[in-house]
Each structure stands twice: as C-alpha cells, then as structure tokens.
Structure 1
Amino acid sequence: MNNTIYPCIWCNNNAREMANFYCSTFPETTVMDENPVVVMLEMFGQKLMLLNGGDKFNPNPSISLMFLTMLEKRVEEIWNKLIQEGRSMMPLDAYPFSPKYGWVQDKYGVSWQLYTARDENHILQKIVPTLMFTGSQNGRAMEAAHLYTSLFPNSEIHGVMYYAEESGEPESSVQHGEFFINDYLLMMMDSSQEHNFSFSEGVSLVVECDYQEEIDNYWNVLTSNGGEESMCGWLKDQFGVSWQIVPAELGGWMKKSTKVMAEVLKMKKLDIDTLKNAIK
C-alpha cells in the first residue's frame, strides 16, 4: 500500500469534530497532524484528510469508503455508531457476497460500506475509496480504470465483475471492480439508477508528488479531454472526479512560512520551486 495517495473529505469547518467522531468509531484511528485548515487521520496505517472548506461542497455517495474486516461483530459495532443521525443506504444484513454488510451515510454525509470478508486474503487494504459512476458517467468505470492505471506507476486492474444479463444493467457495465494506482487500491462500480448525486469536490483524491515532473504529468493527463483546472492544486478529470496534485513536502513548507500558503492561493497547478522560494 502506498500512503502518497489518499482521500480528502470536504468539511463544513468541523474537521476536528469529525476527527473525534471517527477516532471513537473506528479502531486503530488517531489524529496524526492538525492545523486550522486540515486534520489528518491515520486509519489502520492509512491517511484520511479532513479539510475545513466551509459549506461550498458536501461529501456524497459517489465516492464511499469501504471498510473491510473479518469480524462481523466489528462491522455491527461500527454500524451502530455511524447510523446515529445518519441513514441506511443498504441495510446491515447477510448478502451473497458478504456474511455481514451494510452501506451507511453518516451524520456528516460521508458514505461508508462496511464489509465482512470470508477470506483474509481478500483484504488487500482496510479502507478503500469506491467510485460510483452515475448519470452521464454511468458505464465509464472501466474507461476510467484504464486511464488511471496507464497514468500512475505500479498500477493494474486487479479484478472486474460485470453485471449479469438479468440485472437490467448493460452487460458492459461494471458491478464491482478493483484496481491499483501506485500500489493504492481503489474500487469502482457503474449504476444506471436515478441518483441525486455525482462526483464532486466533497470527496477528492490527494496525490503527493516528489518532483515537478510528476505534478506536470498527472496534471496534464487528468485535465485533458474535458477535465478542468481549479485553484490550489485542485482539478477535475474528464469523469468529474476531483484530485489534489500536491508536493509531498507541502505541509512541512507551510509550517515554516505563511508565505507558502499565500503562493498556493495564487496558483492552479502547484510549482515546487516557487513554493520552496517562498520559505526563504
């Protein structure tokens, strides 16, 4: 697993409150770093960023977080905490694919899929961002997986299950798929059902980079063919998925000088040399 890629949840200036909630809900979860803008969690050795961005965006189920365990009791315990003031999207129950599974949207709008595995070898990563392609993006999950795995090093499509004919979904659409980008696991699915949500800045994917060449390459590819540049290292790709392409040392630079943040706020694509010069 690679810790240079991780999800970011947009928070309505309540990142610390959310961090406390998740630390009390999930085992092996602690605050690893914090500043007025960001609270960084470590969950089972993985990063999860909580960003104090205000009320402009909200997380939604287009990107949910899959939690995998061998323990049915643990799934039940976590479900009972997440469902408080939240809502059930798929009831906690036994399913053909899992002896104990449930999909819940918590009180902050973050969607969690709680999955009990039958085989420990199926748990390749404890927390897995899962992309749901809906609306105009429905049917493009495999196209996205091919793009992402061709862009990032150490990447591969790990497995894909397509919809059966009797499902009513196109047989070319993905019911469940898994792929790695730079040794970080993501899951995906298509859905033709009517949904009132689509990909947004509410949940984004952060990519930490060591070199400007990495930033340039990811930025150029992900903004091509209908992608969009935004500010402060943010972009949307052609599927609507939001990414943050940032220098790996950005957090440390910000601690050294407030001028670094001032430079970030001026930029679309981040420039490492300019940010390093701001420290001097």
Structure 2
Amino acid sequence: MKIVPNLWFDNAAEDAAKLYTSIFKNSRITSVTKYPEAATEFSGKPAGSVLTVEFELDGNPFLALNGGPDFRFNESVSFEIPCEDQEEVDYYWSKLTENGGEESMCGWLKDRFGLSWQVVPRRLGEIMADPDQKKVEAATAAYLTMRKLDIATIEEAYASA
C-alpha cells in the first residue's frame, strides 16, 4: 500500500509538477487528466483545463490537483529533503527559492507555489541525537540563527562545545 501526497493548487498543478520533476533526479510526470464538460459548473474550471497531474519525485508518487482557490498551503505540512552535503543543500535551496520562493528559518523555505520544504543535512540528525547535550546545545544555537543551513558552521559549533 502506498500513501500518495495530494497537493491542492488553484491553477498551478502542472507548472508545479514540471518544476518539481525538473529539480529531483529520477522524477517524471506520469499522467495528466483534464476537467470534463460535466464538471465545469461545479468546479468553475473550463472543460479541457488541467484537473490532475500525477508525478513521481525520485520514485515517490504525488498528485497535484487544480481544485480552485479554496485551500492554501501552510507550514503545518512540509516535505523534508535530507541532503548528503552542502552542495546538495545549496542546490535544493536555490532551485526551490528561485522565481518567488521565500526563505524561512532553520532550513525551511516556501517555493513559489507556497509549498513548504525543509532542506536539511543528514548530519544534523546525527548531531541532534548525540548524548552530549553541551554539543547539541551548541549546534542548535548555531543553526537557529540560519536560514539556509550551513553544515560547516554547525559542525564547528558542535566540535567546539
């Protein structure tokens, strides 16, 4: 059994799927459905316009729906991108914040569609699990001041504690 995240957009489902599949390796759009004539009055969407886009991000299934303006994304749900190194952090950060994305704090951002992402080095999880609370506190104090996470700065704070 799979769980498929369903992302609600007003009219940007296809644009979002194209962006996300261009950023993540091993990704593709698998199908696009259109609004049928019978749904136009109920949905307010013209027949033939994009209804859903099914896509995969690194093999994980997603669905994007053009459902109208009733619902918006917020930070209570986000997608985490575990990164191996600073190069990956920088790559995902720049791709997801370009063209209207917004930086937030502690590795969080919103893309231009308002969807929240966490761009986090895998190493941070290891640091946070260290039983030496002094080191954890030092690393935490360092990353709490950051927008995009800087692995070297976090490591330096961690090692110096």
Q: Tell me the TM-score range normalised by the shorter chain.
A: 0.7 to 0.9
Gaps of 5+ in 2: 131-135
Match of residue 167 from structure 1: 39
Paired letter, 1:279 = Y
Cα distance in 1 for residues equivalent to 2:122 and 2:47: 40
Identity of matched residues, %: 47
Match of residue 131 from structure 1: 7
Shift, 1:172, TM fit: 5.2
Please state if 1:274 is matched with 2:153. Answer: yes
Match of residue 158 from structure 1: 30
- Cα shift readout 1:38-71 (whole Å, capped 9, x = no counterpart): xxxxxxxxxxxxxxxxxxxxxxxxxxxxxxx5xx
Moved over 6 A (4+): none
Count of residue correspondences: 150
State whether residues 34 and 48 of structure 2, in contact with CA within 8 Å, keep that contact through their aligned partners in structure 1. yes
The 5 Å alignment of 1:231-246 reads 231-246=105-120
**Structure with greater contact order relative to length (CA < 8 Å, sep ≥ 6):** 2
SS in 2 for 1:175: strand
Cα distance in 1 for residues equivalent to 2:122 and 2:5: 20
- Cα shift readout 1:217-236 (whole Å, capped 9, x = no counterpart): 11111111111000000001
Shift, 1:191, TM fit: 1.1
Shift, 1:151, TM fit: 0.7
Q: Could you state the TM-score of these two structures normalised by the residue count of structure 1? A: 0.51
Cα distance in 1 for residues equivalent to 2:106 and 2:122: 14
Cα distance in 2 for residues equivalent to 1:253 and 1:174: 44
Paired letter, 1:199 = F
State whether residues 105 and 147 of structure 2, in contact with CA within 8 Å, keep that contact through their aligned partners in structure 1. yes
Paired letter, 1:224 = E
Please state if 1:142 is matched with 2:14. Answer: yes
Paired letter, 2:35 = Y
Compare the two structures and name the one with the higher helix fraction.
Answer: 2
State whether residues 203 and 242 of structure 1, in contact with CA within 8 Å, keep that contact through their aligned partners in structure 2. yes
Q: Could you state the TM-score of these two structures normalised by the residue count of structure 2? A: 0.86
Work out which of the residue numbers 39, 62, 71 in structure 2 matches 1:186.
62
Compare the two structures and name the one with the higher strand fraction.
Answer: 1
SS in 2 for 1:202: coil
Cα distance in 1 for residues equivalent to 2:49 and 2:8: 11
After superposition, the Cα gap between the structure-2 partners of 1:278 and 1:173, relative to the gap in structure 1 and judged at 3 Å, is: farther
After superposition, the Cα gap between the structure-2 partners of 1:273 and 1:176, relative to the gap in structure 1 and judged at 3 Å, is: same
State whether residues 156 and 181 of structure 1, in contact with CA within 8 Å, keep that contact through their aligned partners in structure 2. yes
Shift, 1:166, TM fit: 2.8
Match of residue 89 from structure 2: 215
Match of residue 141 from structure 2: 262
Shift, 1:165, TM fit: 2.6
State whether residues 223 and 229 of structure 1, in contact with CA within 8 Å, keep that contact through their aligned partners in structure 2. yes
SS in 2 for 1:198: coil
SS in 2 for 1:127: coil
Gaps of 5+ in 1: 1-68, 70-125
What do you get for the CA RMSD once the two structures are aligned?
A: 1.5
